[in-house]
């Protein structure tokens, strides 16, 4: 067995990183792609390694030399690398393909060792490594039959999004027998280049063979094995996260603040959304209008304020819609004068917007981090605060204050000329669900000191659209925020979502009830985990204390590294004093059961 590595390309999309180096010299987490690949190949039973070089080929030769450990390295030069594609690079190595069975690899790949193990163990002489299509994948696809025979290669030009359920992406790792090379691939390769030129991809030859001949090329389908193709700087960034070591992976994910759809295998129990809304019909309606929404401008603030007022059935001059609640929080906090009362731990977007000198913090004095209105009134009675913030249910504790008590607090703060800010982003998950909202005209009008903020991302399950609302009968404040944010702060997809929501409002209420039932079931399952203490919650997450032998950090890292599950380590949040607490989102039954299974596997053996 031998290996052929195609490494002639220029890698222009990597910019400065390949200005003076071939792409395979780019480093991921401190190790070049070619060094990683050669180390993996050295563990196989290979007679030699052939590298087809082109751009900056002499530098690569000088760097690698003519052997790696005990394996001989040969070089083949593609002198017209800047005018050809990889079909010509492979054509130049055709005589080598006749000498031995070959593993063919493109040099811009990073993948885990187990893929070579699977390839080596495969009993089939001719194999293409493939992975089920995911949204991040680009390039040649294949279709396979029930016996894993590759029946067609799909080039970029023939790609159809309506067929993605049938597609597998070529990983650009192959195993060819020398008989396959002699009798099928090389004859077709020569004919293809003679007829169509050398500015094509070698997989086009495989496509022709599958159409015209009995190809006998099997698909080796990856399951959860990790791999990535490095074409540009974003690919590099993602690969550095996927292939970071166990001690660094968690921090790399945390630094991304979302965008986890780029990591399809990741189960995200960190970010908080409704798993039961929106319904499929609503998503289909949004999808059916995709082209128009993509290509036309959204309305400005006036119309979108009207839509969000209709959404919550409150007066238009009382509300402002935001690009997520975060945009509104930033604008609001910039306008708050004097000191603000904040409970800790809580959602840190608020305190992060103020100087620590302007914050007077209340710390709950119990292990569940719970508190009641009377405690807040007693604590802040003689404190010089101009505003008081309540996140209800609170994040991450899940502590919930019923509306009747909140209105008592609203009257108390009104009497003391204190602005009361209620963030009710999670209130629809509480037991009485939407009945607990303060987004009502009569409440806002009675308490003009009251400001209500709500993230639509969380309870309505649409974080990608980025919507939030702020409401108050203090129209001066609302008018300021409307002018402070961009006139086009909402895109067309968000606008259309607000427009059609009324048709699905009953589905939303049903989704909240389904969620409440699943939260209770999930809670009962979590309480059986011996090293966790689960704090009851009225939100879509649970705060959990972690007991020995684990810490919050170790359990978070273990879940990510062993099971590809991401949870929130709360130990560094303000108010926890580095004690061992984690936050776990409530997702669908299927996802929740996967987490419970992982936690059970980590349970200490007695």
Is residue 85 domain-shared with residue 137, that is, in the same domain? yes
The residue segments making up the domain with residue 453 are: 280-506
Tell me how far the alpha carbon of residue 474 is from its chain's centroid.
38
Tell me how far the alpha carbon of residue 365 is from its chain's centroid.
36
Q: What is the mean pLDDT of residues 110-119?
A: 94
What is the per-residue burial (b if ≥16 Cβ within 10 Å, else e) of 388-414? Answer: bbbbbbbbbbbbbbebeebbebbebbb
Kindly report the backbone phi and psi dihedral angles of residue 246, in degrees, each rounded to the nearest multiple of 5, phi listed first.
Answer: -60, -30
Kindly report the backbone phi and psi dihedral angles of residue 13, in degrees, each rounded to the nearest multiple of 5, phi listed first.
Answer: -70, -10
Nearest to residue 587, comparing CAs of 523, 546, 541? Answer: 541
Is 275 a member of any domain? no
Is residue 146 domain-shared with residue 292, that is, in the same domain? no
Is 516 a member of any domain? no
Is residue 221 domain-shared with residue 356, that is, in the same domain? no
Report percent pLDDT > 70 for the chain: 99
Is residue 334 domain-shared with residue 235, that is, in the same domain? no
Is 558 a member of any domain? no
CATH code, 352: 3.40.640.10
CATH code, 169: 3.90.550.10
Is residue 371 domain-shared with residue 501, that is, in the same domain? yes
Domain boundary among 448, 480, 506: 506
Is residue 475 domain-shared with residue 333, that is, in the same domain? yes
Is 538 a member of any domain? no
Is residue 19 domain-shared with residue 115, that is, in the same domain? yes
The DSSP code for 95 is H
pLDDT for 83-108, tens place per residue?
988 999 999 999 999 999 999 999 99
Is 44 a member of any domain? yes
CA 35 – CA 212 distance, rounded (Å): 39
pLDDT confidence of residue 215:
74
Nearest to residue 211, comparing CAs of 190, 188, 233, 191? Answer: 188
Q: Is 297 exposed, middle or buried (0-12, 13-18, 19+ CB in 10 A)?
A: exposed
Domain boundary among 506, 537, 554: 506
Q: In terms of DSSP H, where are the helices of 243-324? A: 249-254, 280-288, 290-295, 301-312
Is residue 232 domain-shared with residue 370, that is, in the same domain? no
CA 308 – CA 313 distance, rounded (Å): 8
CA 544 – CA 526 distance, rounded (Å): 9
Is 598 a member of any domain? no
Is 518 a member of any domain? no
Tell me how far the alpha carbon of residue 81 is from its chain's centroid.
36
Kindly report the backbone phi and psi dihedral angles of residue 544, in degrees, each rounded to the nearest multiple of 5, phi listed first.
Answer: -130, 130
- Per the CB < 8 A criterion, the answer to whether 603 and 531 are in contact is yes
Band (27; pLDDT cuts 50, 70, 90): very high
Band (605; pLDDT cuts 50, 70, 90): low
Strands 141-144, 48-53: pairing is: unpaired
Per-residue pLDDT at 386 exceeds 70:
yes
Is residue 71 domain-shared with residue 136, that is, in the same domain? yes
Report percent pLDDT > 90 for the chain: 88
Entry field: residues in the chain: 606
Domain boundary among 446, 473, 506: 506
In the structure encoding, which two tokens stand for residue 362, read together? 């209340």
Tally the domains of the chain: 2
Is 574 a member of any domain? no
Is residue 170 domain-shared with residue 295, that is, in the same domain? no
Nearest to residue 81, comparing CAs of 58, 110, 102? Answer: 58
Q: How far is CA 281 from CA 135, 285, 286, 496, in A?
A: 22, 6, 9, 14
Is residue 179 domain-shared with residue 307, that is, in the same domain? no
* Cis peptide upstream of residue 56 (ω within 30 degrees of 0): no
pLDDT for 429-484, tens place per residue?
999 999 999 999 999 999 999 999 999 988 999 999 999 999 999 999 999 999 99
What sign results for the dihedral spanned by CA atoms 27, 33, 35, 40? positive
pLDDT for 45-77, tens place per residue?
999 999 999 999 999 999 999 999 999 999 999
The DSSP code for 350 is T
What sign results for the dihedral spanned by CA atoms 144, 148, 153, 157? positive
Is residue 285 domain-shared with residue 336, that is, in the same domain? yes
């Amino acid at each position: 067995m031998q290996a052929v590595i195609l490494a002639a390309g220029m890698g222009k999309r990597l910019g400065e990183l390949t200005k003076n180096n071939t792409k395979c010299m780019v480093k991921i987490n401190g190790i070049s792609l070619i060094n990683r690949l050669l180390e993996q190949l050295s563990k196989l039973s290979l007679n030699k390694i052939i590298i087809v070089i082109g751009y900056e080929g002499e530098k690569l030769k000088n760097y690698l030399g003519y052997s790696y450990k005990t394996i001989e390295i040969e070089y083949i030069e593609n002198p017209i690398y800047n005018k050809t594609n990889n079909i010509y690079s492979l054509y130049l190595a055709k005589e080598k393909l006749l000498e031995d069975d070959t593993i063919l690899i493109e040099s811009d790949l990073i993948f885990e060792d187990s893929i070579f193990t699977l390839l080596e163990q495969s009993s089939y002489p001719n194999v293409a490594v493939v992975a089920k299509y995911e949204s991040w994948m680009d390039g040649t696809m294949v279709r396979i039959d029930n016996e894993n025979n590759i029946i067609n290669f799909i080039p970029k030009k023939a790609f159809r999004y309506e067929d993605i359920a049938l597609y597998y992406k070529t990983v650009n790792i192959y195993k060819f027998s020398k008989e396959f090379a002699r009798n099928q691939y090389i004859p077709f390769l020569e004919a293809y280049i003679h007829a169509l030129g050398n500015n094509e991809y070698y997989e086009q030859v495989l496509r022709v063979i599958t159409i015209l001949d009995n190809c006998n090329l099997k698909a080796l389908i990856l399951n959860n094995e990790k791999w990535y193709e490095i074409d540009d700087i974003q690919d590099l960034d993602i690969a550095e996260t996927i292939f970071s070591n166990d001690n660094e992976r968690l921090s790399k994910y945390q630094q991304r603040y979302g965008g986890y759809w780029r990591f399809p295998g990741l189960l995200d129990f960190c970010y908080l959304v409704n798993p039961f809304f929106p319904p499929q019909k609503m998503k289909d309606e949004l999808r059916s209008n995709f082209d128009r929404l993509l290509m036309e401008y959204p309305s400005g603030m006036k119309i979108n304020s009207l839509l969000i007022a209709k959404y919550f059935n409150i007066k238009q001059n009382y509300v402002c819609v935001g690009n997520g609640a975060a945009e509104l929080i930033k604008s609001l906090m910039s306008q708050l004068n004097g000191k603000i009362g904040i409970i800790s731990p809580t959602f840190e977007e608020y305190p992060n917007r103020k100087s620590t000198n302007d914050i007077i913090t209340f710390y709950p004095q119990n292990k569940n981090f719970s508190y009641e209105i009377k405690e807040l009134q007693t604590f802040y009675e003689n404190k010089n605060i101009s505003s008081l913030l309540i996140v209800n249910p609170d994040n991450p504790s899940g502590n919930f204050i019923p509306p009747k008590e909140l209105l008592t607090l609203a009257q108390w703060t009104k009497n003391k000329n204190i602005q009361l800010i209620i963030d009710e982003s999670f209130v629809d998950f509480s037991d009485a669900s939407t009945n607990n909202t303060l987004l009502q005209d009569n409440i806002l009008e009675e308490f003009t000191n009251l400001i209500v903020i709500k993230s639509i991302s969380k309870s309505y399950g649409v974080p990608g659209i980025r919507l939030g609302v702020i409401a108050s009968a203090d129209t001066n404040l609302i008018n300021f925020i409307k002018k402070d944010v961009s006139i086009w702060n909402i895109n067309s997809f968000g606008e259309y979502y607000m427009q059609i929501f009324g048709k699905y409002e009953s589905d939303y209420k049903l989704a909240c009830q389904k969620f409440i039932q699943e939260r209770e079931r999930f809670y009962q399952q979590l309480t059986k985990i011996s090293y966790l203490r689960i704090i009851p919650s009225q939100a879509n997450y649970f705060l959990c204390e972690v007991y020995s032998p684990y810490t919050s950090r170790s359990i978070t890292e273990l879940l990510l590294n062993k099971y590809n599950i991401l949870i929130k380590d709360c130990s560094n949040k303000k108010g926890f004093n580095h004690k061992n607490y984690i936050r776990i989102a409530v997702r669908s039954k299927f996802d929740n059961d996967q987490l419970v299974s992982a936690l059970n596997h980590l349970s200490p053996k007695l």
